[in-house]
Chains A and B, each alone.
Chain A
Amino acid sequence: MEDNLITLLLSFKYPVMRQGSLAADDVYPETFFTFWNNDETGESFYDNKTSSVLYDFSINCYSTDPSLAYDLIRSARALLLENGWIITDRGHDVTSDEITHVGRGIDVMYLELQN
């Protein structure tokens, strides 16, 4: 599921990385996405087997341009919804450790049926 999320985010042509993966001395790209897998749990069970799995991710966009960060999160939300993701969140601010960048985030889920 992580691959699917990364592929969709990469279609915006900005770097995509796992939250916390940037080294302390790495420079923030001007605009980029991060993601983090909050949870991955069996959601339903049948005949002693997991019949569906719920994936829960946080997606964040950091940018030197605040309006771009907002726009990209809105666009990412629309794209993920089109691709079967479940999103109740409309977006929220996230803290950036660089004063030059603002952060905007959204929590997204995907229910995968198991064969």
Chain B
Amino acid sequence: MGKRNTLNLELSGFNELVTKLEGLNGNVNKVVTSALQQAAETIEEDTKDAVKKSNLPAKGKYSTGATENAIASPTVTWSGTVAEVGVGFDYSKDGAGGFLITGTPRMQPDRELQKMYKQKKYMKAIQSDMEAVVQDEIVRIMEG
């Protein structure tokens, strides 16, 4: 598997909810997998939208489609108690994902990708969605 982008998530609120779920004997593994999978699928869809031709430099005139093909399809994997999911671009494949996020001296960063991968607002929304998945499960258990 090639290198992927790093997205910074502040997970303290999420961790608190998971601890609460654990205390209620909830299925932590299943719920965390579901929260991560949903978050990663949202990121995958949004990344696909961000590399649509209309959002690319020169309206995608030079796009071959390789960048879109390099977007990671998310699958959650567990190593002991650590869950992991790849998001963003798979750099082992051809594509211009890295160029588009950071830009180059001759090309400004892609505005849509930059909003996702460099601005806090997007990640806060993803965090909030993940917390909602765990919160819903807690409510479901408590309401019996």
* A interacts with B: yes
Total interface residues in chain A, CB < 8 Å = 26
For window 44-72 of chain A, which residues contact chain B by CB distance below 8 Å? 56, 58, 60, 62
Q: List 5 A-B contacts (CB under 8 A).
A: A19-B102, A20-B109, A36-B102, A96-B105, A97-B106
- Interface membership of A39, Cβ < 8 A: yes
Sort chain B's interface into a size bin. 10 to 19
**Interface locus among B16-24, B32-40, B114-122, B134-142:** B114-122
Chain A: which residue is nearest B107 at the CB level?
A20
**How far is B106's CA from A96's CA once the two chains are assembled, in angstroms?**
9
Contact check, B105 vs A41: say whether CB atoms are below 8 A apart. no
A38 to B107, CA, bound (A): 15
Given known A-B contacts A38-B114, A38-B118, A58-B118, A95 and B102 have beta carbons under 8 A apart: yes
A94 within 8 A of B: yes
Helix, strand, loop or mixed for chain A's interface? Answer: strand
Contact status of A28 and B109, CB under 8 A, knowing A38-B118, A56-B118, A56-B119 = no
Q: Are B105 and A32 in contact (CB under 8 A)?
A: yes
Given A28-B105, A56-B118, 6 new contacts (CB under 8 A) = A20-B107, A20-B109, A36-B109, A41-B120, A58-B102, A103-B104
For residue B103, which residues in chain A have a CB less than 8 angstroms away from its CB? 19-20, 36
Contacting residue for B104 out of A32, A41, A95, CB 8 A: A95
In the bound complex, residues from chain B placing their C-beta under 8 Å from that of A32 are 105
B98 within 8 A of A: yes
CB of B118 within 8 A of CB of A39, answer yes
